[in-house]
Amino acid sequence: MNYLKGSKFLFFYIIVSLIFIVNLYFYFVPSKFFHHLELKTYDWRMQHSSQKLISHKIVIVAIDEKSLKDLGRWDDWSRNKFPEIIKKIKNYGAKIIGVDVLFIEKSKDDSKLIDNFNNGITVGSLVIDFSEHQKTDKIPENLKLSSYQNIIDNENLVLNGRGLIYPFEKLINSYVALGHINMLPDDDGVIRRELVAIKYGDLIFPSFAIQIYKLYNNIDDEDVLLIPGRALFLGKQKIDLDNYSAFLINYKGQEGTFPYVSVSDVFFDRINKDFFKNKIVLVGATAVGLYDLRVTPLSQNMPGIEKHANVIENLIDNKFIKIIPKYILLLILFVIYFIYLLFGKILRVKGVSFLGIGIFIVYSFSAFLLFSHHKIYLNLVHPTMTNLSIFLVVIIYKYAVEEARSREIKKIFSSYVSDKIVNELIKNPEMAKLGGIKKEITVLFADVRGFTTFSEKHPPEEVVLFLNELLTEMTDVIMKYDGTLDKFVGDEIMALWNVPLEQDDHTIRAVMCAIDMIKKNRILAEKWTKEGKDVLYLSIGINTGEAVVGNMGAENKKMDYTAIGDTVNLGARVEALTRSLNADILITEYVYEKIKNFKEELKNVSIIECPPQQVKGKRDFIKVYKIDIK
């Protein structure tokens, strides 16, 4: 068939490759739409993944609505009561205290604040400003000690701030260290990453959580190494970083996952005294009016202090979200591309549909399982879009090709075979082998007896009417038995079985068809007799054997699907013997051997062996059998 020509395969390769190149472009030059879509799939996976239990090494002391109700406005007690709260937390046995509260301005009550913060276990916070108007001229020397001391490679892969906001200088000396509390929301406002480093001037500052973890694990500054955009080493622990020197936060749950206690309950001693023992205690605001609520993949209102708790927990249990390297994702895209190149051209529409859906299900399910159980993050959007776009193009191509193929099959076979066979060929076009094959067939020839005499006695119009009526009825019978109507030659009919579809019972089908044709002919004869017309009778010859079958003729001009060979010639010769042997149906010995055991189908007929006959083109005599219909 023409649709199998190499040029169409070349066109298939070209369109699939073009679509793949477009997908590669969006992979290397990401669009905001696909980026945002990928972020949403990440959030969905985070929300539906199995969350691990927390270590219970971190507790949160919240400046919440309850504490504001019990103690009054924050500004009224932040300098006089808050130091007492920090003192109590230390006395209750806390191992580390992290204070997510900035005391920028001096006041008359600062001495108490400085004394109680100077306890050897408290980590403070600072903010690096990115706005144009903010500028810090001079950095206190003691603040510089909180920056990274060991940095190699490209510092350009660290965000660069324009200003520094930190506690008043005397309070800085009370802290063991300070870390930035900046957060890096994505374009949609969701906090998914922890910035482990931000640059200001010549200094790069660790985050608040990093400083607390260093103190908790007694990690000295010389054992900390920052490689911007690549990795952070905390002692023997390695944390892989992205191009912003950040890592994805493995959130343990929604807000309230970590143990909370109100600042006022600490102040009034309304807690179990072992609650803080050997714990990391984070102190920060959770009250709505203090404006430190954040959007995360798991929460719309997570306090910033609990975000820090999640990061510290990640550092403690060393359970980070691992991002699949870009080269692996690129390899996945190429695998999808080559799968379609290999199978897209040979599969039909249904097969391509299963292929596309299968790739989507296997990849998506794998991406979900990897994230849910192993916290391995695999990009979902790019492979899905690559699969979907190539799939749609291939489906459109296949529909166009198969529609053309269906039209070609209908054009070739609609006048030869029944609609049933045409539809089967459209479903299974590989069965329509038109290039010429050698196979066993059964051929039937039916001829009108005395047609020459009949045509001489009647006007042409009447001859045509008679012949058309007879041939129409006979054609219907051939189609009924799923025969292939090869051709009409004047008043002669040639029909084939076992082509183009395989038919295991092709010989008995042809014989049963012949019997039915004679019965239908007799019914027509009765009708014509009643109408006072002359009668036309058929004689039929059948043979079985090998023949060459194919679409034959002049290419692009006149082609016929037919059979040629000795088997066909012998079938025609046997039909010619019906006159001398006074038979309606004659079959060869090859047909007889095929049907002799079909007793149930042939119970109403007699099969009579005739004397050996010699036919044109054959040196030896042949055996023929006459079928008499009871």
* Residue 132 confidence (pLDDT): 66
What dihedral angle (degrees, nearest 10) is formed by the CA atoms of 214, 219, 223, 227? Answer: -10
Q: What is the pLDDT of residue 155?
A: 78
Exposed e or buried b for every residue in 120-135, given b needs 16+ CB within 10 A?
ebbbbbbbbbeeeeee
**Confidence (pLDDT) at 407:** 61
Across 189-344, where does the E strand assignment appear?
191-195, 197-200, 203-206, 224-227, 231-234, 237-240, 246-248, 260-262, 280-285, 293-296, 299-303, 322-323
pLDDT, averaged across the chain: 88
Quick one: average pLDDT of 222-237?
95
pLDDT digits (tens, 9 = 90+) for 70-105: 999 888 888 889 999 999 999 999 999 999 999 988
**Model confidence pLDDT, tens digit, residues 139-160:** 888 899 999 999 997 778 899 9
Q: How are the residues of the chain apportioned to helix, strand and coil, as percentages rounded to the nearest 5? A: 45, 25, 35
Q: What is the pLDDT of residue 346?
A: 81
- At 37 the three-state DSSP class reads helix
pLDDT of res. 333:
95
Least confident of 211-220, 253-262, 491-500: 491-500
Q: How confident is the model at residue 12 (pLDDT cuts 50, 70, 90)?
A: confident
Of 289-298, 313-322, 357-366, where does mean pLDDT reach its minimum? 289-298
pLDDT in tens, 389-445: 999 998 888 777 766 666 665 555 555 554 555 555 555 555 455 556 788 999 999
Domains of the chain, start order: 9-43+324-398 (no CATH), 53-318 (no CATH), 433-629 (3.30.70.1230)
* pLDDT at 66 exceeding the cut of 70: yes
How many of the other CB atoms lie within 10 Å of CB of 472?
9
Residues 577-628 pLDDT 10s:
999 999 999 999 999 999 999 988 898 899 999 999 988 878 889 999 999 9
Is 90 exceeded by the pLDDT of residue 282?
yes
The sign one gets for the Cα dihedral 115, 119, 125, 126 is positive
* pLDDT beyond 90 at 312: yes
